[in-house]
Structure 1
Amino acid sequence: MSQRFPGRRLSIVRVAAVVCVAAIVVGGGVFGLNQIEDAKAASTGDSFFAGYVDVTAIPEFSFESATTDDGQSAMLSFIVADEQDTCSPSWGTFFAPGESGQGRDLDRRIARFAESGGEVAISFGGLLNDELATVCTSPSELEKAYAAVVTRYDVATIDLDIEGDNLRDSEAGARRATAIAAVQQARAAENAPLAVWLTLPVSPTGLTEAGTTAVRQMLAANVDLAGVNLMVMDYGSSRDASQTMYETAVAAAEATHSQIGDAYASAGQDLGTRAVWRKIGLTPMIGQNDEPGEVFGLRDATLLNAYAQDNGVGRMSAWSLNRDRTCGGNYPDLTRVSDSCSGVEQGDLRFGEVLSLGFSNRLAPVPSTPAPVPTLVADNPATSPYPIWAADNSYVANDRIVWHGHVYSAKWFTLGDQPDNPLVNAASAPWNLIGPVLPGDRPAVVLVVPPGTYDGWSSSVVYQQGERVLLGDRAFEAKWWTLGDSPQASLDGSDSSPWLLLSDADIQKILDAR
């Protein structure tokens, strides 16, 4: 006789409970996997600090001497369209890449920065001039212009600072995105990856419509964006006056975080919360901003750095390193923005030190195999850009010479002081190191006033202020009434000399007028 196995019947409630538990387990697993993927994406590469340096500002900022033990990064700005040739890049319309830049010797200074472990990135655009894509309408010429800058300076990171009319021009935005994508892909094919950052203005509610369009254009063109850098500054009427600059920056960052996530999702790239933060950079304008009443102080910097660290933002910058110091007493109106000081009392602190805390000084990971040290170019009068230093020659302020493969500039009158004397304190040394002699250097053209332009100096002639004379092949201008005072004293470094040596810029004006 057969016997049926006794069992219990499953109720509908029990079945529903089992299904619910299974869903929770599966859902929890998916959520956990997403968190893992988000963390993995966010951990790619180091977050870095790179302060902006305006290489066209006067007085000149010596970024090349600002390295630390583990190097430093500088965002050199701004490459824009040349005023005469709209598809040719220039530094702020003042000089072309490769030109000396009215004595700035930028290429040489970049080389010196690299010798000390520093690394530069190049920023295109800015507010005051035409970004290349705005006025260069030829796609092929535009691509060549971007590529020429990237190749000349051999940079691994570029920054596109798009604002004002440049940002509102959506046609230019499409051209820019297509050209940058092509340059980036060409570099990748050469095993020289190019990181591309898009720098945009923000308000407390995030990016403008033009800003979100710029991001979407880059993604649609298949640009692999390293991230979107937010200019947390100059809010104007959009800022709540009861909020601090730090609080306003946080509001702008969090609003933009959602916008960036949506832009990537629309492009078919779903990024987790932490991965989106890694795609964001923060750049305050240190000290007094362009907008009256907006002052980003050291406390704001401390809090913003902590916020950035907590959220894992990918980049921190500052506008600008030129301004990272207390204004001197001869600059009385601190509400007026200066190119060379912050407008706030900094004491011994620097905004760069506060904002960079916890960030890498490197734009890219340090390679496992160090780059070879470049071979110095031998001192050779036939190829050196300036005369070789000689112990029995006297030199005056701004005279340039070459010694042991490097270019130096005299700070003041000097005779017999070896430029690379290692025993002399840098502050008291009469020579300022500019950078190495570069392959391909040739002797610089020496500007001289043509004979007969002015009369030769005479000890028996009375000279009035503004009159000019020649002494040998050098031209001088009288600072005040003088009789019997030789211009030679000016060459010898006398501060009391009534004569002023004409600069190369002065001589060039004379030559242009002929």
Structure 2
Amino acid sequence: MSLPVFPAGRPPFAEPSSPRAGKRLSFWRVLLGLVVVAAVVLVSIFGFRFFVVDQARASQAAPSFAGYVDATVTPQYAFEAPATDAQNDVVLSFVVAHSATDCTPSWGAAYTLDAAAENLDIDRRIARLRQLGGDPIVSFGGAINTDLATACTNVGDLTKAYKSVIDRYDLSTIDLDVEAGDLSDSLAGERRAVAIAALQSERRAQGDDLTVWLTLPTMPTGLTADGTRLVSQMLADGVDLAGVNIMTMDYGIDLHNESMGQVAIDALNAVHAQLASQYITAGTQLTDASLWAKLGATPMIGQNDVAGEVFTLADAAQLNAFGQLKQLGRLSAWSLNRDRSCGPNYLDLATVSNQCSGVDQGSTTFAEVLNAGFGGGLSATPLPVTTVPASDAAGTQPTPTPTSTAPAARGRESDPPADDPATSPYPIWAAGVTYVAGTKVVWHATVYEAKWWTLGDVPDNPVLTASSTPWALIGPVLAGETPYVVPTLPVGTYPDWSGNATYNEGDRVLFNTVPYVAKWWTRGDSPAAAVLSADSSPWLPLTAAQVAAVSAGTAGTAATP
């Protein structure tokens, strides 16, 4: 093969017609090129670093669903026995101030934390939920009663109040539901922000995190001015917000014939833009995907408090589809207590019920519809950092499976836990004892409650359905528990019971120093019968919390129920 011959004076492979042919680069052209290259390198380094950090924030956990549970409403919702995976994680509500001037944390202003452990078995039921692989968020605030940040007039007391709840229930996530007058109180907002920032710093110094969601009312056009101010306070004081959960409910305005699902989507789009602005003002610019991951939505399922506003299963499916598309950080619902059709005896479906939704759900639950694609769980493993551009990040992310803390299945040759009367809060079950409805016993380190009269039925005897056993499993015996002691009061606190006296509903008496309250008119019925048959007895023993209130001089007269 012969070598090519080039014309004299022309370099090989030069294009004779090229405009650059024979030209040399000037110093300024070289300098400009170097500047451009440096800028590209800097953008690629620092821009990529910023993008990765931001995506890491957006991927703290997989999108999760956790329905709200009204913990104090009766009858109790059995959150400790989730029927489906959609009910595994719950938002227990609401912890508030004991009164407008009392900074003591309470459940619904009705139970102190200790009283809730006794009367509602909150601690034990939380332990049972965790045995089954679920986990609770505790929500502070709500629309009624007084928010802790309002009642606690200094940051130190407020911080201690929050911490007492977080430590007692070993919480990794809390929800701050701020509404009504508590939302418009800017001083309370400042105390709340400072206290939460301090708690997060303390937890991180110990190697733990405290995930904080802010739940706020919204309109289709976004957060109110009070809501945006509260978010700004949180960011300015250094609170690391997991996100803002908006209450897509009770708008009270003309919705222009839009579905409740679409109105919720409108609100989410509006708040997304508001959050972008607020984070920029706070000195942080988040990607579009990160902002969506910091958003949640909580519809009021079925009939809302506002007449004409009804959130249907179709609305739930529409909201869920949008949530999956945008990868919202959280979906929820108010409330799991209401997630069922009303019975035929509930006639006025336009009136909100605490126990049913007011719409025909058939066999479908709102929780199952909203949970689709949101099964990350509260304790899910963080997702890996991704370098997918924000504009392409709308696909469904992998959903980690929460690690169950349920005890391993007991083999045939394993011995069941031994029950010790000294560490059992209630009597140990015995085959020859009659138990009436509401009686609690301990069996194999677990507390059970009788659903109806029973004799000889072993509490943990295997059955095919829950309706086949007279026992309801409440939860495990907790570390440090001791036998329940019947509370007493000093002689003379109330009149001693007399078989010749007539008592009306609400009258209080002492029987062997144990205080009782009359449930209805009675004469000659001894309070001792209440121990044997709580349902049929006209007498009800006072709880430890009520006795403590009497001892503190706050229970009123002997005729007070």
TM superposition score category, shorter chain reference: 0.7 to 0.9
State the match for 1:411 in structure 2.
Answer: 451
State the match for 1:50 in structure 2.
Answer: 66
Q: 2:284 aligns with which of 244, 252, 269?
A: 269
* Count of residue pairs brought into register by the alignment: 494
| Separation in structure 2 between the aligned mates of residue 359 and residue 328 of structure 1, nearest angstrom | 30
The one-letter code matched in structure 2 to 1:55 is A
State the match for 1:147 in structure 2.
Answer: 163
State the match for 2:299 in structure 1.
Answer: 284
Q: 1:250 aligns with which of 265, 280, 288?
A: 265
Does residue 389 of the first structure (1) align with residue 404 of the second (2)? no
Kindly tell me: are residues 341 and 178 of structure 1, through their superposed partners in 2, closer, same or farther at Cα, counting changes over 3 Å? same
The one-letter code matched in structure 2 to 1:228 is V
State the match for 1:219 in structure 2.
Answer: 235
The C-alpha deviation readout for 1:49-78, integer Å capped at 9, x for no partner, is: 010111011111000001646982111111
CA shift at 1:342, angstroms? 0.7
The share of aligned pairs that are identical, in percent, is 47
* Structure 2 gaps, min length 5: 1-7, 383-400, 409-415
CA shift at 1:33, angstroms? 5.4
SS at match of 1:175: helix
CA shift at 1:371, angstroms? 8.1
User: Given that residues 455 and 470 in structure 1 are in contact (C-alpha distance below 8 angstroms), is that contact kept between their aligned partners in structure 2?
Assistant: no
| Separation in structure 1 between the aligned mates of residue 136 and residue 123 of structure 2, nearest angstrom | 11
| Separation in structure 2 between the aligned mates of residue 436 and residue 370 of structure 1, nearest angstrom | 19
The one-letter code matched in structure 2 to 1:76 is L
The C-alpha deviation readout for 1:356-393, integer Å capped at 9, x for no partner, is: 01112511225999687789985222332111111111
State the match for 2:198 in structure 1.
Answer: 182
SS at match of 1:259: helix
User: Given that residues 250 and 309 in structure 2 are in contact (C-alpha distance below 8 angstroms), is that contact kept between their aligned partners in structure 1?
Assistant: yes
| Separation in structure 1 between the aligned mates of residue 216 and residue 142 of structure 2, nearest angstrom | 10
| Separation in structure 2 between the aligned mates of residue 176 and residue 326 of structure 1, nearest angstrom | 38
CA shift at 1:464, angstroms? 11
Q: 2:361 aligns with which of 346, 353, 364?
A: 346
CA shift at 1:220, angstroms? 0.6
CA shift at 1:421, angstroms? 0.9
CA shift at 1:242, angstroms? 1.2
Kindly tell me: are residues 256 and 389 of structure 1, through their superposed partners in 2, closer, same or farther at Cα, counting changes over 3 Å? same
| Separation in structure 1 between the aligned mates of residue 174 and residue 530 of structure 2, nearest angstrom | 48
Kindly tell me: are residues 191 and 329 of structure 1, through their superposed partners in 2, closer, same or farther at Cα, counting changes over 3 Å? same
CA shift at 1:190, angstroms? 1.0
User: Given that residues 448 and 459 in structure 2 are in contact (C-alpha distance below 8 angstroms), is that contact kept between their aligned partners in structure 1?
Assistant: yes
SS at match of 2:474: strand
State the match for 2:77 in structure 1.
Answer: 61
Q: Which stretch of the first structure deviates more once superposed, 61-70 or 248-257? A: 61-70
State the match for 1:460 in structure 2.
Answer: none
State the match for 2:154 in structure 1.
Answer: 138
SS at match of 1:392: coil
State the match for 2:468 in structure 1.
Answer: 428
| Separation in structure 2 between the aligned mates of residue 43 and residue 438 of structure 1, nearest angstrom | 35
* Structure 1 gaps, min length 5: 458-462
- 5 Å matches for 1:197-216? 197-216=213-232
User: Given that residues 158 and 197 in structure 1 are in contact (C-alpha distance below 8 angstroms), is that contact kept between their aligned partners in structure 2?
Assistant: yes
User: Given that residues 479 and 500 in structure 1 are in contact (C-alpha distance below 8 angstroms), is that contact kept between their aligned partners in structure 2?
Assistant: no
Q: Indicate the RMSD between aligned Cα atoms, in angstroms.
A: 4.1
User: Given that residues 54 and 77 in structure 1 are in contact (C-alpha distance below 8 angstroms), is that contact kept between their aligned partners in structure 2?
Assistant: yes
The one-letter code matched in structure 2 to 1:130 is T
The one-letter code matched in structure 2 to 1:291 is V
Kindly tell me: are residues 153 and 374 of structure 1, through their superposed partners in 2, closer, same or farther at Cα, counting changes over 3 Å? farther
SS at match of 1:65: coil
SS at match of 1:421: coil
The one-letter code matched in structure 2 to 1:108 is R
Kindly tell me: are residues 182 and 377 of structure 1, through their superposed partners in 2, closer, same or farther at Cα, counting changes over 3 Å? farther
| Separation in structure 1 between the aligned mates of residue 154 and residue 344 of structure 2, nearest angstrom | 50
User: Given that residues 232 and 249 in structure 1 are in contact (C-alpha distance below 8 angstroms), is that contact kept between their aligned partners in structure 2?
Assistant: yes
Kindly tell me: are residues 103 and 369 of structure 1, through their superposed partners in 2, closer, same or farther at Cα, counting changes over 3 Å? closer
State the match for 2:3 in structure 1.
Answer: none
TM-score (norm 1): 0.84
Q: 1:328 aligns with which of 327, 334, 343?
A: 343
| Separation in structure 2 between the aligned mates of residue 91 and residue 159 of structure 1, nearest angstrom | 14
Does residue 503 of the first structure (1) align with residue 540 of the second (2)? yes
